[in-house]
Structures are given as C-alpha cells and as structure tokens.
Structure 1
Amino acid sequence: MKLAADLQAFAARIGHEFSKPELLIRAVTHASISSASRPDNQRLEFLGDRVLGLVMAEALLKADTAASEGQLAPRFNALVRKETCAEVAREMGLGEVLKLGRSEMMSGGRRKEALLGDAMEAVIAAVYSDAGFEAARRVVLRLWGDRIGTVEADARDPKTALQEWAQARGMAPPTYLERGREGPDHQPVFTVEVCLANGESEAASAGTKRQAEQAAARALLARMENQS
C-alpha cells in the first residue's frame, strides 16, 4: 500500500516514514466515514493518549529533577490536554488530511478542536504501532517542541487560580455567565463573563465555552493581582 501525496507530505512534516502506511490512513479516518473495510481511528486514539502521557511524564521528570509531584501534575495536564493536541495538529496541517464523512465535513470537522485533538493522539499511536516507543517519543518531542520548557507559564489553570484568589479573601467562588453566541454552528464564538462577589467582572470570547471561561478568568485575575 502506498500513501497518497497529501499523506506522504503529512508524514514528512511529522518526521516519520511509515513501513505500514495503513496505520496512518486509519489514524486520519474519522468515525463519520468508517466502514468494515475502513476502520476509524478511535482505538488508535485510546492508545495514543497513553503513549503521549508516558512521553510527557518522562520528559517533565528529566526537564526538572527537583520538581515535586504537585508541580509536575499541572504541567503534565497542560501538555497532554485536548487543546494542546489540537494546537499541534493545526501546526502540522492534520485537518487538511482527515478522512471525514460528508456531514462532518460540511459542519467544519477539519477545524473542530476535539476532532483534531483525537486525531493527533491517533497519529501518535500509529507511529508507535509502526515503529515502537522510541520512534513515537522522537515524533512527540519534535512536534511538542519547546512547549515542555515553557509549560510552567501555561500550567496554572486560570479558573482554578481565580477561585483560589477569591477564597483566600473570603469570597464565594466566581460565577460564569454565557453572554452570547455568534457565528455558524460549525464555528461558533462564545462570550462568557466571570463575576466576583465584590462586583468585579471581565468578559472574553473564544471558540468554546471552556476557552472563553479561561480567557475571562485570566483577564480578571491579572487585573485583580495588579490592583493588589
């Protein structure tokens, strides 16, 4: 079996030459177009999530030999979360080579964060299944690049940090209100406002409610800390 030109180019971008091309084909095949003769990527996604986790856990331990488990855990979560996988997928142009059913394609599947994140995990599993753990580790470390070294700034979840800030001052936890949704169903933009018991608030917009909540929390926390 030979890979199509677009998949050959994608394999070159991630830095792996497949001896079993069918693994990459399966990794980019979404359930919306799968069949008995064309299995989807869900089982590979399950495996890839675990391979990614092991690579990242090992890399973090090596990067900071003095860090405690409490310091390592949020860094790990920041590196393996779906948003980060989707970000890497976009950088590699994974969305352009996905095999999707018509309905998923029409609804903007190539840009959906969850779909991209799942497919990135499936690609990692495809490399692992094709050539073993060392090959998968090389690919993951190459694609994640300097994220491992700079993860500390991204590791503190802004919603958790804002809640801790409020509780330390005797306030109730922040509340989050959806203030609007715009755009087509396949590419919505949510606006969320976060409010503190002292009346302070900030609003932010993003492609998912979670991202909008985080952005609003980050903005409000930054303002509150600057005023302290």
Structure 2
Amino acid sequence: MPKQYKDKQKQSKKLEQFREFQQRISVHFQNEKLLYQAFTHSSYVNEHRKKPYEDNERLEFLGDAVLELTISQFLFAKYPAMSEGDLTKLRAAIVCEPSLVSLAHELSFGDLVLLGKGEEMTGGRKRPALLADVFEAFIGALYLDQGLEPVERFLEAYVYPKINDGAFSHVMDFKSQLQEFVQRDGKGVLEYRILHEKGPAHNREFEANVSLRGEVLGIGNGRSKKEAEQHAAQEALAKLQKHHMNQ
C-alpha cells in the first residue's frame, strides 16, 4: 500500500476521532484547526516540517491563564468566607499537574494527541506533563474559538462537580472558615463533640458534630478526630452559606 494512501487513511481516522470526541463532550468547535492544534505536540510538528502544522505550546500558555481566571471566579463565589490564602491553596490544588492529568485521562485526551514517532515510542501519550499541557491547550483553544461562556460550561460539566464533591478538601481548613463565618455575624461560639469511635486501633473511625447555641449544624466522619471535625465543619459551612444566600 503506497505511503501516501496510508497517511490519508490515518488522517481520516484521526478526524473521525475528533468528531466523536466533540460529540462525547458536547463541545463543537467553529474553527476545528484550533482543536487539532490543541492536541498537536511539538514532536509531531518537527517530523512534519513540510506541512503547516502548529504545536500547542502557545495555546497552553493561554489556557493556563483562562483556567486560573475561571477557577478563581468559581471559588470566589462558592466560598465567601474563605481567606485569600486558602483560596490560593485550593486553586493551586485544582490546576496542578496531577489534577489536570486526572481530567485528561477521564476524557481520553491521550488518545487524540498527535505525536512524533520518537515521543510515541517512549510513552509520550501517557506522560503526565504532556497530558496536563494538552488539557490547558484545549481550554485555550476553546476560549479562542468561542469565549469564556463555553469554557465555563465545560468546567461546570467536568471540574466544578469534583470541587462540590470535596475532591480537593484535603487542602481546605473548613473549621477556620466556619469560625470566620460565625464570627462575622456575631452568632455565638462553636462547639465540637466526638460522638462515636469505632474499629480497631489501627483503623479507627470517628464521628463528630459541630453545634452553635445548642443547634447541631453539621456531622462528619473521619479517620481521626481532626478529620471528623473538619467534615462536620464542611457540612455546617455549606448549610450556613446556603441559608445566607437565600435570605
């Protein structure tokens, strides 16, 4: 089979993959060249110098800034009692390489990347830094193609639910946030109580609650007393913020 024919077959298959990908994530690019560029690694461009391919490095630069802005805006609105320092820590946990790699895996970004043969042979398709870069480049491409709103919709579908489900709660101090929220309104003193301890010494589980003036606001479980109290504070904070927003 002639090489030219094989190349056309490969290209046709790749275009079909991109069409299916857009269908799957409910995002449809007006300028599909931007989408292809987001998934084009520099090693691919180096091997196809006779063709006008562009790699994704500039899109990655833009996507990084767009991600920081959109995630910052979401966190600012979601956590009105959170300090600037805690907001910064939380944002960093969301946009760090391991988080972006996890998202890229979830959406099968690695299957779409255009790589040079050398990069392909050394496992580039699964390389964490490469996948994180592709995720940022995709965000940059989507922003250039359609603006901030579609980026927000994409994040609402794939990123914000993880934040809401507490996937990044390990970097958050909910007890401090709750204390600040309560002090701001002068509502009284918070009290934490350990309700139960169960399990063997090497695998204990604790249940705690937090109350304000005798009213239980939140209950939480954890592998330590501190973790159980943090989860109780998280539940209480969510309840108080919801009530505050509905007033």
TM-score tier, shorter chain, comes to 0.5 to 0.7
**8 Å Cα contact 1:28-1:41 kept in structure 2:** yes
Unaligned runs of 5+ in 2: 1-11, 173-222, 228-247
Deviation at 1:141, TM superposition (A): 2.5
For 2:204, the equivalent position in structure 1 comes to none
For 1:195, the equivalent position in structure 2 comes to none
Deviation per CA, 1:196-220: give whole Å up to 9, x if none.
Answer: xxxxxxxxxxxxxxxxxxxxxxxxx
Deviation at 1:151, TM superposition (A): 4.4
More displaced, 59-68 or 44-53? Answer: 59-68
Using the size of structure 2 for normalisation, the TM-score is: 0.60
Identity of aligned residues (%): 34
- Greater than 4 Å deviation, 4+ residue runs: none
Q: Match for 1:8 among 3, 11, 19? A: 19
Superposed CA RMSD: 2.1
Structure 2 residue 169 is matched with structure 1 residue 153: yes
1:107-126 aligned within 5 A: 107-126=122-141
Structure 2 residue 42 is matched with structure 1 residue 31: yes
Provide the C-alpha distance between the structure 1 equivalents of 2:93 and 2:162, rounded to a whole number of angstroms: 9
Deviation per CA, 1:33-90: give whole Å up to 9, x if none.
Answer: 1146100000000000000000100010111111111221111000111111111000
Structure 2 residue 33 is matched with structure 1 residue 22: yes
1:204-223 aligned within 5 A: none
For 1:137, the equivalent position in structure 2 comes to 152
1:88-107 aligned within 5 A: 88-107=103-122
Structure number, greater radius of gyration: 2
**8 Å Cα contact 2:101-2:132 kept in structure 1:** yes
Provide the C-alpha distance between the structure 2 equivalents of 1:16 and 1:152, rounded to a whole number of angstroms: 26
Provide the C-alpha distance between the structure 1 equivalents of 2:158 and 2:125, rounded to a whole number of angstroms: 19
Structure 2 residue 64 is matched with structure 1 residue 53: no
Task: Using CA pairs under 8 Å that are at least 6 residues apart, name the structure with larger relative contact order, 1 or 2.
Answer: 1
Q: Match for 1:40 among 36, 55, 64? A: 55
Deviation at 1:154, TM superposition (A): 3.3
Unaligned runs of 5+ in 1: 157-221
Aligned residues: 159
Amino acid of the structure 2 residue aligned with 1:56: I
